[in-house]
Amino acid sequence: MIKVSNFSKKFGNKIVHKDINFHVRKGECLGLIGGSGTGKSVILRSIIGLETPDTGTVVVNDQTINQLSEIELIKIRQKVAYVFQGGALFDSLNVFDNLAYALKEHTSLSESEIISRIQSTLTQFGLYDSFNIMPSQLSGGMQKRVGLARAVIMNPEVLLYDEPTAGLDPFNTKRIQDLILRLKGTGVTSILVTHDMPVALEVCDRLALVLRGEIVEEMTPKEFYNSPNALMHKFIHGESF
Residues in the chain: 241
End-to-end CA distance of the chain: 32
Q: Which C-beta is closer to other proteins: that of 142 or that of 232? A: 142
Whether the Cβ atoms of residue 114 and residue 103 lie closer than 8 Å to each other: yes
DSSP codes, 71-95: HHHHHHHTTEEEE-TT----TTS-H
Q: Which C-beta is closer to other proteins: that of 156 or that of 197? A: 156
Q: Which C-beta is closer to other proteins: that of 82 or that of 224? A: 82
Q: Which amino acid, one-letter code, is at 229?
A: N
Residue 160 Cβ, how far from other proteins at the closest point, in Å?
A: 9
Burial class (CB in 10 A: 0-12, 13-18, 19+), 230: exposed
Q: Which C-beta is closer to other proteins: that of 114 or that of 219? A: 114
Residue 35 Cβ, how far from other proteins at the closest point, in Å?
A: 21
CA distance 132 to 123: 14
Q: What is the 3-state secondary structure (H, E, C) of 164-198?
A: CCCCCCHHHHHHHHHHHHHHHHCCCEEEEECCCHH
Strand 29-33, strand 206-211: pairing:
parallel
Residue 162 Cβ, how far from other proteins at the closest point, in Å?
A: 9
Q: Which C-beta is closer to other proteins: that of 31 or that of 135? A: 135
Residue 82 Cβ, how far from other proteins at the closest point, in Å?
A: 4
Burial class (CB in 10 A: 0-12, 13-18, 19+), 8: middle
Residue 211 Cβ, how far from other proteins at the closest point, in Å?
A: 25
Q: Which C-beta is closer to other proteins: that of 31 or that of 156? A: 156
Residue 155 Cβ, how far from other proteins at the closest point, in Å?
A: 13
Binding positions for other proteins, rule: CB under 8 A: 45, 48-50, 70, 73-75, 77-78, 81-82, 84-86, 88-91, 101-102, 105-106, 150
